Structure 1
Amino acid sequence: MLFARSYRLLFILLFTSFIAPVWAKSSSQSMDDWFRNFKQTASPQALYQFLYQMPKGGDLHHHLSGSGYGKWWFELAADSEKNGGYSYYTRVKNNNCEPYGVNTFSINAVTFLFHTISQHTWSELSACRQQEYRALSQLNEAQIQGFIQSLELDKPYEGQDEFFERHWQRLNELIANPHIMANILLRNMQEYQQENLLYLETQQNLRFMKRPDGSFYSEDEALAIFTTMLSSAEAKLTGVTVKFQYALVRFTPNTDAQLKWIYAFVDNHRDYYVGINLVGREDDPKGHPLNFLSTLRSLRTRYPKINLAFHAGESVSPSENIRDTLLLGVDRIGHGINLLSDPDTYLLMRNNRYLIETNLISNFKLEYIQDFSQHPFPQYLRTGIPTALSTDDRGMWDARLTDEFYVAVTQFNLSWQELKLLSRNSLAFSFLAKDDKQRLLQTLEDNFDRFEQGYLNNTAQKKVISYSGFMCSYEPLLCAQGGQ
């Protein structure tokens, strides 16, 4: 029996992305038929309930700073007892404090609302500029709602520019508070527990984290705040395993020096950090993948392997960015939307060891596709390109992982075996250590067995679900009939 379980798990690891699992139990075959019939007759509520409770593997493409909902940011930032003793101010009006002729494109020339700063930074502003800001704890209701909505991409005229040029700048010093970020991580874990997710691989940097007085934590001091949270009873109760990636913004100054520092840091903290990510807009030529080739090759002569999962192909324009990113030695591609425009690279990735991290809602919200039917995801899934669904910056879409699965099923008519394959891929292609990966893959299979039996025997327990803002816009019937 032990040999059979071990063989089954080994088979998952080797072949999970390439062929339908031939070892599946007879209940799975019955489940295939059950799910095919269920899709044809289920109400939106019933389908969402099913996908919400469905066992899930991991979320592999996850920016922690983009995963907080606006209401979370406000709740934490406005309460010093919840955020480590910090006080914050946000910009609520424009006094035109700057004289004529100043550099309005400077990073310090803030012209938009809800730019948030610490009390320490506020105290160093001129009197005129101080009056533009108001303590978060003193905002009126309209300002509170404005603050929350300013951190979510919820209006039809908001797209790439709003997201890349405003959202992160509004968060500003909030993401430099390790107490807030650790709390955002805990809340993600608690939500993922409800969605039956086993693993989260999130991107979180530690340099330049600030204390309330403006001084900097060391990287190890900042990491300790996260690890203390992960060791807490609340975190352990979720059952979600968490590992980190360190991210390099591709177009920032001194990227070679940054990459060298990141490599050394990840190498020294392999118990928590499992990889490195290259992030940022690809339309900036300073961030071209091959700019990093010589530095990475040099670093590989000095360090044992460090896993790489780089953003590439997050564009509608044909390019060779995915191919050039593979040349860097990456194992996973984030987004990969324009792969079909590069046939040679597409053929290379078919039935190979590279995974594309698919972010359906992100790609729609940021206008890389105008309609979900334009997304190449089904081509990847059904022609042997390993892929898995992930959430990217879910807080800014007001969405969750189940929403990604709901879109995939309703747009592309996924089968039960395809749903299971996506969940398996999200663990099989994770950067977890081998033993941890095997353990979670076996847990996932056990969870699937119980889940299938519950639905086939009509004994599945239903959860009370509230729906995300995204789902209320994508599938209005969900919220029109009692959803929240």
Structure 2
Amino acid sequence: MFSVCYRWRCHRLVAPFLANLLATGLMLSSSAAFSADMDKWFRQFKHNASDQALYQLLWSLPKGGDLHHHLSGAGFSEWWYDIATQPARNGGYVYYTKTRLLQCHGYGTNEYGPNPQNLLFRTIQASTYQNLSECEQQEYELLSELDEHKKQAFFNSIRLDKAHEGRNEFFETHWQRLNELTSNPHIGAYILLKNMQAFAAEGLQYLETQVNVDRSITPAGERMPPEAALKIYTDTLASDAARQTGVVVRFQYALLRFLPHAEQHLRWMYDFVDKHRDIYVGINMVGREDNDKGYPLRFLPVLRELRRSYPAINLAIHAGEVDEPNQHVKDTLLLGAQRIGHGLNAITDADTLLLMRHGPYLIEINLISNRLLGYTPDYATHPFPEYLRTNIPVALTTDDRGMWDSRLTDEYFVAVKEFNLSWQELTGLARQSLQHSFLNATDKQAALATYEQRLGKFADTLSRSGTGSLPQPPAKRLFICQYQPTLCHQG
């Protein structure tokens, strides 16, 4: 028996075939008959259910992996503030944030660039603050002593909370405001743990996140050895709190592709990842594609050089996250990438689309990111359904979810509402995320088997008790309230 909830009233639907499958103990989600039965049920559910009921179902739905996840962009504002203002928990660091502009360097001097002086809520640690001039120090306040108005402004400064904000605000101010917060591995490990706990609550089982450790600094402002910084992360992963989430975590190392010495950094990280294959499963080339200095083929010679000396290392590279048509996705495949981050403009390259159909390459789809950063004017023009329904492997991912103030469930909700996903398509996204993860073959098969078991138990719960037995999601985040206001004003 299933329940369909409409305006919070639940109606029982008879599903004897599903009940028989459950009784036989078959692996339900791999059964074509089961999938067809669920597709029929889900079609009716979508037709009758309120937005609240649909969101509740998607919140509880078992999910596979999040493969496109920038850890430094995945912290909610409250998390950053919480750990940054507690020296006893963050490694002994104290932070100051800029709350007024006194033009200490004069107008037009050092206002922009990588170290902008005209940016409110740019955060620094005490060792940096102590080396400022008296005038500059007056621009800053202790982060822990902000009044409620300024605290809220700090929260809003590192997320896209206004309609006029877009990619320039995101790329040119958010990380610049976080600034030295991202150089503290204790904070990074805390943000990782909070992600694991939050993801576990919405049914995720695998997280592949980007963690860099070569630019960590101590409370005194000195460089921390990468091995020491990595140990802080791995100690967190070994903690009881992390283990209790049940979320399996692996790291990628991120290369900022347009920097002048990116090739040299790639050589270093190739060696580092090779030495830490137990936790690092790949390398990811990141950064704005509209900065032409990071064009993909720039890295072909150095990658060919490195492959002569190291066993294969997985590559997941941002490509196609740009407005104009180009061949960056094809060039990225030439570099050896197994996964494409975003892949938006692959739709303009017919040869590449044919290459990717039924192939070994997956596109990491970021619906919310692409819309908020203006890479697609609306969801109706997003290529995701074309990829999905022409058999190009895809998976839904969150990108910089802290800065969108969103959840993976929000990506699923948008996909269902905008593109009318079937049950088979919905659950296929989770399977593809695990099939195309960078886990080793044994762990990958175990992850897929675990997913099927979880999906079977989920279907069992629905058949026995209906959607009314599913847990209620916590208070909605900013994005989903803006996208679908009824979710925040009903119930």
Question: Into which bin does the TM-score normalised by the smaller protein fall?
Answer: over 0.9
1:202 to 201, 205, 209: 209
Q: CA deviation at 1:101?
A: 6.3
Amino acid at match of 1:481: Q
Aligned residues: 463
CA 1:100–1:268: 2 relative to 1, 3 Å: same
CA–CA separation in structure 2 for the residues paired with 1:86 and 1:22: 49
**1:352 and 2:362 aligned:** no
Q: Any idea what SS the aligned residue of 1:457 has?
A: helix
Unaligned runs of 5+ in 2: 1-26
CA–CA separation in structure 1 for the residues paired with 2:245 and 2:111: 46
**1:162 and 2:169 aligned:** yes
Alignment partner, residue 471 of structure 1: 480
Alignment partner, residue 366 of structure 1: 373
CA 1:468–1:108: 2 relative to 1, 3 Å: closer
Q: Any idea what SS the aligned residue of 1:247 has?
A: strand
1:481 to 479, 487, 490: 490
**1:278 and 2:285 aligned:** yes
Q: CA deviation at 1:79?
A: 1.7
1:447 to 434, 445, 454: 454
Moved more, 397-406 or 105-114: 105-114
CA–CA separation in structure 2 for the residues paired with 1:385 and 1:106: 39
Moved more, 444-453 or 406-415: 444-453
Moved more, 211-220 or 292-301: 211-220
CA–CA separation in structure 2 for the residues paired with 1:401 and 1:151: 19
Q: 2:97, 2:140 within 8 Å by CA — same for their partners in 1?
A: yes
Q: CA deviation at 1:283?
A: 1.1
Q: CA deviation at 1:28?
A: 3.1
Alignment partner, residue 102 of structure 1: 109
Alignment partner, residue 55 of structure 1: 62
CA–CA separation in structure 2 for the residues paired with 1:28 and 1:458: 19
Q: 1:31, 1:456 within 8 Å by CA — same for their partners in 2?
A: no
CA–CA separation in structure 2 for the residues paired with 1:103 and 1:117: 17
CA 1:428–1:274: 2 relative to 1, 3 Å: same
Q: 1:28, 1:452 within 8 Å by CA — same for their partners in 2?
A: no
CA–CA separation in structure 2 for the residues paired with 1:181 and 1:23: 38
2:391 to 384, 393, 415: 384
CA 1:336–1:479: 2 relative to 1, 3 Å: same
Alignment partner, residue 149 of structure 2: 142
CA–CA separation in structure 2 for the residues paired with 1:428 and 1:48: 26
Q: Any idea what SS the aligned residue of 1:278 has?
A: strand
Moved more, 152-161 or 453-462: 453-462
CA–CA separation in structure 2 for the residues paired with 1:249 and 1:174: 18
User: What is the TM-score when the length of structure 2 is the normalising length?
Assistant: 0.92
Q: CA deviation at 1:181?
A: 0.6
Q: Any idea what SS the aligned residue of 1:338 has?
A: helix
User: What is the TM-score when the length of structure 1 is the normalising length?
Assistant: 0.94
CA–CA separation in structure 2 for the residues paired with 1:48 and 1:106: 42
Alignment partner, residue 437 of structure 1: 444
How much is the aligned-residue C-alpha RMSD, in angstroms? 1.4
Q: 1:250, 1:278 within 8 Å by CA — same for their partners in 2?
A: yes
Q: 2:167, 2:374 within 8 Å by CA — same for their partners in 1?
A: yes
Q: Any idea what SS the aligned residue of 1:46 has?
A: helix
CA–CA separation in structure 1 for the residues paired with 2:83 and 2:108: 38
CA–CA separation in structure 2 for the residues paired with 1:398 and 1:103: 31
Q: 1:27, 1:452 within 8 Å by CA — same for their partners in 2?
A: no
Q: Where does 1:36-115 land on structure 2 (aligned, <5 Å)?
A: 36-99=43-106, 102-115=109-122
Amino acid at match of 2:480: M
Q: CA deviation at 1:204?
A: 1.0
**1:258 and 2:265 aligned:** yes
Q: 1:362, 1:392 within 8 Å by CA — same for their partners in 2?
A: yes
Q: Where does 1:220-231 land on structure 2 (aligned, <5 Å)?
A: 220-231=227-238
Q: 1:310, 1:330 within 8 Å by CA — same for their partners in 2?
A: yes
Q: Percent identity?
A: 54
CA–CA separation in structure 1 for the residues paired with 2:228 and 2:89: 19
1:427 to 414, 431, 434: 434
Q: CA deviation at 1:96?
A: 0.9
Q: 1:27, 1:453 within 8 Å by CA — same for their partners in 2?
A: no
CA–CA separation in structure 1 for the residues paired with 2:312 and 2:226: 22
Unaligned runs of 5+ in 1: 1-11, 13-20
CA 1:31–1:344: 2 relative to 1, 3 Å: same
CA–CA separation in structure 2 for the residues paired with 1:105 and 1:35: 52
Amino acid at match of 1:164: F
Q: CA deviation at 1:102?
A: 3.5
Alignment partner, residue 5 of structure 2: none
Q: 1:189, 1:235 within 8 Å by CA — same for their partners in 2?
A: yes
Amino acid at match of 1:165: E
CA–CA separation in structure 2 for the residues paired with 1:300 and 1:62: 26
Q: 2:166, 2:372 within 8 Å by CA — same for their partners in 1?
A: yes
Q: CA deviation at 1:346?
A: 1.0
Q: CA deviation at 1:29?
A: 2.7
2:225 to 210, 218, 222: 218
CA–CA separation in structure 2 for the residues paired with 1:478 and 1:105: 39
Amino acid at match of 1:189: M
CA–CA separation in structure 2 for the residues paired with 1:480 and 1:108: 41
Moved more, 100-109 or 48-57: 100-109
Q: CA deviation at 1:217?
A: 1.4
Q: Any idea what SS the aligned residue of 1:71 has?
A: helix
CA–CA separation in structure 1 for the residues paired with 2:65 and 2:115: 39
Q: 1:34, 1:456 within 8 Å by CA — same for their partners in 2?
A: no
Q: Any idea what SS the aligned residue of 2:64 has?
A: strand
CA–CA separation in structure 2 for the residues paired with 1:22 and 1:208: 44
CA–CA separation in structure 1 for the residues paired with 2:136 and 2:435: 52
List, as ranges, runs of 4+ consecutive aligned residues in structure 1 with deviation greater than 4 Å.
Answer: none
CA–CA separation in structure 1 for the residues paired with 2:29 and 2:414: 27
Q: CA deviation at 1:292?
A: 0.3
CA–CA separation in structure 1 for the residues paired with 2:129 and 2:60: 45
1:462 to 454, 470, 484: 470
Q: 2:85, 2:143 within 8 Å by CA — same for their partners in 1?
A: yes
CA–CA separation in structure 1 for the residues paired with 2:483 and 2:65: 24
